[in-house]
Structure 1
Amino acid sequence: MIRFDRIWVNVQLATMVTGATDRGEIRDGALGVCDGKIAWIGPRAELPESVAAETRDGAGGWLLPGLIDCHTHLVFGGDRCGEFEERLEGVPYAEIARRGGGIRRSVEGTRAASPEQLHRSAEQRLRRLIGEGVTTVEIKSGYGLETETELRMLRAARKLGAEGFVSVVTSFLGAHAFPAGMDRDAYVDLVCGPMLDAVAAEGLADAVDAFCETIAFSPAETERVFQAARAKGLPVKLHADQISDSGAAALAARHGALSCDHVEYTGEDGVRAMAEAGSVAVLLPGAFYMLREKQKPPVELFRRHGVPMAVATDANPGSSPLLSPLLAMNMACVLFGLTPYEALLGMTAHAARALGLAADRGTLEVGKRADLSLWRIGRPAELCYWMGYGGGLLVERVIGGKPSTPARVGLV
């Protein structure tokens, strides 16, 4: 006799186990949870004799892993709607950044915001992700560019995770841009020294990120940041090759990066290096769309070399004000040519790998954390077909085996 805390029955299962055919689908399935972990999964007809504290009828819906948004900038102050208007009038993103806009504009708003304002505004954005099935989200700093504000951002992110409605993974992104009027070497020294020391002392970061680009940090400067991060025992990831191929993806791969993100301009040498290092390519179609870019990520090269592709919203106030993971998957299919199966892997199994969490979540397998999403759909591809229609499709989210519906976080 097996004892479960909960059993879901009368569900169609898409396990998202990589290598399985048809998304690892199990028709008329059942899934049992014990102590927050998946304890049994399979066809309902094969469910062994068991007792459960609660049995939940899925009414024929599709049960998938909870969605994972593995690249966001949810914590910030202010907005950059004015820059959106400028770009529509033909001003390039790089030109806006050079004139003191872009990231620096968000720095001004974030520095001016109180801890309560940062938390409250980020919580409102997070609710949108939760309403479309997200159970794990990565949140970066990077709009402080000074120690205290960077810490304030990461504390706000940690607080969101402590509230229990979603798992939060944090990335320290002090190397996002250079603050106005500060010497480049001096700022890199600050990021690699006092700033990283303070972040590590409070345990505020799960990884260290950087922006390696012609308008941001050079490969040599990025290398210094990565060396400091690895000395602290922190894994690294990188905003790489977004507007040029500077060899950033290959640099990140040399440091065993969890992921290389954006990667529109990554060449075959970079893709090959990522494959050898096991780095995930995180595709960010929201920024591609919002900036009206033309260079697409080398999806076919990633396929050919076996580089896993994750998909994320890149939710941020400037280049990707996108709070719909379902729309991100739709864009990945329509704009980048992913199949719906690849896009779903990109928001589940491969997104977990991009955060170093593949052993714990991202697929429906015995022993993994019971983060689940139950959908009122006829087939999994509908999650990539509807353009940001999660409120009408999502039936229930489950966090660690405990139901956490949108209503619990104030959504209607």
Structure 2
Amino acid sequence: MAARLFRNARLVSMADPADLVPIEQAAILAVDGRIAYAGPEDGLPAAARGAEAIDLEGRLVTPGLIDCHTHLVHGGDRAREFELRLAGAGYEEIARAGGGIVSTVAATRAAGEDGLVRSALARLDRLIAEGVTTVEVKSGYGLDLQTELAQLRAARRLAEERKVTVSTTFLGLHALPPEYRDDRAGYLARVRDALLPAVAAEGLADSVDAFCEGIAFSPAEVDAFFATARRLGLAVRLHADQLSDLGGAALAARHRALSADHLEYTNEAGVAAMAETGTVAVLLPGAFYTLRETKLPPVELFRRHGVAMAVATDCNPGTSPLTSPLLAMNMAATLFRLTVAECLAGLTINAAAALGLAGDTGSIVAGKWCDLAVWDAERPAELVYRLGFNPLAARYWRGE
């Protein structure tokens, strides 16, 4: 691709996550999809001469949004469980009765890879329509070798169908599959000896994840899983401290995890451990809202210890059927009391860090991919405070 010049922009680069004051009359020069210059138009380099020019007509420009925690690829839905929760059933009650994750496993196994791609594209398109240029997609609804690989292949195929960057995660410890209900040790051995090596050998996952919780997997089980994953060269992330404090944040930090996610019950020692290793705290207000949780994540502790906070939709069929990153930002502000700057950083530069991609995306600076969201908005606050409102005017992925 030749050089492309975006001019007449009001630029919020997120180079400084706390600075939301737009650079007026700004320009962005992209060469072969990467940013060569971003700043005031009067500072454009000579390389801008002859570039294809696109007039953004004074619109607000931010980095393309990054949804760093989703379960986009799955079969079926769990609307029935939503009804049960409305009638008073709790998360654990539904899970122990054979609902929850296990019910999605059956639908996912039956869908086939092509069916998984088709259904995921509909959800992905909703994210793209609100400015998402990078999305993370987890497996974890197959719980057998064939379907886990199919989920990961389907996730990789999304990037062939749409102009979007896809980061894949093997969620190897999500729930016990029904066929291993009475053989927990057998399933853990199967994941260690068959699933993890196959995922690594095929290069299908950028990282691995686990659900560390009383209804899922213990810290000791996750610790062994992560140790194996790290030996295979895979980065790790963790669903941590969502429903109880099992020390998940500290466990994630011990393995130098890219992120620990949920974190409602995380204690200060866990926060300090995350700060020491640079592990990003991924906040998921959609799940908090859907499950009617009341225990807030320790946002003040994250601030005090300097832990970067990301925000994501957690799009999944059971506990966060959310495909709006803009609404996720509003929820993070309203429910968790994040500032506008924290919300926008949470879906840009900090989300990139949670995926290990901060060197390539998440801010509009020279050297990174030219991933842009162009908004019909005067101030960044408009992206956070309005409900049911999508001011996206244009979206560019790698300059296109």
Aligned to 2:327: 327
Q: Distance in 1 between matches of 2:43 and 2:231?
A: 50
Q: Which residue of 2 aligns with 1:180?
A: 178
Flag the 1:278–1:228 CA change in 2: closer, same or farther, 3 A: same
Aligned residue in 2 for 1:407: none
What is the match of residue 251 of structure 1? Answer: 251
Query: Is the 8 Å Cα contact of residues 250 and 274 (structure 1) preserved in structure 2?
Result: yes
Q: Tell whether 2:66 aligns with 1:34.
A: no
CA RMSD of aligned residues (A): 1.2
Question: In the alignment, what sits opposite 2:44?
Answer: 47
The match for 2:271 is 271
Write the distance in 1 (CA, Å) between the matches of 2:266 and 2:125. Answer: 33
- Cα displacement (A) at 1:4: 6.6
In 2: Cα distance, 1:125 partner to 1:163 partner: 13
**Structure 2: which amino acid aligns with 1:15?**
S
Match of 1:220 in 2: 220
Residue pairs, 1:10-409, within 5 angstroms: 10-18=8-16, 22-23=19-20, 25-49=22-46, 50-182=48-180, 183-390=183-390, 393-402=391-400
Alpha-carbon shift at residue 177 of structure 1 (Å): 0.4
Q: 1:405 matched to which residue of 2?
A: none
* Letter matched to residue 7 of structure 1: L
Q: Which moved more, 1:378-387 or 1:300-309?
A: 378-387
Which stretch shifts more, 41-50 or 145-154?
41-50
Distance 2:21 2:103 in 1: 45
SS at match of 1:158: helix
SS at match of 1:236: strand
Q: Which amino acid aligns with 1:30?
A: A
Q: 1-side partners of 2:243 and 2:16: how far apart? A: 31
Aligned partners of 2:270 and 2:312: how far apart in 1? 21
Q: Is the 8 A contact 1:13 1:25 kept in 2?
A: yes
Identity %: 59
Cα distance in 1 for residues equivalent to 2:260 and 2:39: 35
Q: Give the letter for the 2:362 counterpart.
A: G
Per-residue deviation, residues 267-293 of structure 1 (Å, max 9, x unmatched): 001000000011000000000000000
Using the size of structure 2 for normalisation, the TM-score is: 0.97
How far 1:200 moved relative to its partner?
A: 1.2
- SS state at 2:314 partner: coil
Paired amino acid for 1:36: G
Alpha-carbon offset, residue 181 of structure 1: 4.2
* CA deviation string 1:187-224 (max 9, x = no partner): 11111120111111111000000000000000000011
Any idea what the Cα deviations from partners look like across 1:119-152, whole Å, max 9, x if unmatched?
Answer: 1000011000000000000000000011100001
Q: Scaled by the length of structure 1, what TM-score is found?
A: 0.94
The corresponding residue for 1:410 is none
Aligned mates of 2:210, 2:50 — CA distance in 1:
47
> Contact 2:261/2:283 (CA < 8 Å) preserved in 1?
yes
Equivalent-residue separation in structure 2 for 1:198 and 1:369 (angstroms)? 31
Q: Residue by residue, what CA displacement relative to the aligned partner does 1:352-389 show, whole Å, maximum 9, x if unpaired?
A: 00000011110011111111111110111111112242
Structure 1 residue 115: deviation in Å? Answer: 1.4
Counterparts of 1:12 and 1:95 in 2: how far apart (Å)?
50
Assess, with a 3 A threshold, how the Cα gap between structure 1 residues 113 and 97 changes in structure 2: closer, same or farther.
same
1:114 Cα shift?
Answer: 1.6
| Shift in CA distance, 235/388, structure 1 to aligned 2, threshold 3 Å | farther
Distance 1:388 1:303 in 2: 29
- In structure 2, the gaps of 5 or more residues are none
> Are the counterparts in 1 of residues 176 and 187 from structure 2 also a CA contact under 8 Å?
yes
Q: Is the 8 A contact 1:310 1:346 kept in 2?
A: yes
Assess if the C-alpha contact under 8 Å between 1:235 and 1:257 holds in 2: yes
Partners of 2:110 and 2:24 in 1: CA distance: 53
- Verify the 8 A CA contact 2:37 2:45 in the aligned structure 1: no
Q: For 2:73 and 2:120, how far apart are their aligned partners in 1?
A: 5
Counterpart amino acid of residue 302 in structure 1:
F
Q: Determine the C-alpha separation between the residues in 1 that align with 2:336 and 2:130.
A: 22
Deviates more, 1:321-330 or 1:28-37: 28-37
Displacement of 1:23 in angstroms is: 2.6
The 1:4–1:39 alpha-carbon spacing in structure 2 relative to 1, beyond 3 Å, is: farther
Q: CA deviation at 1:24?
A: 6.0
Q: Matches of 2:14 and 2:38 in 1, distance apart?
A: 13
Q: Secondary structure at the match of 1:257?
A: coil
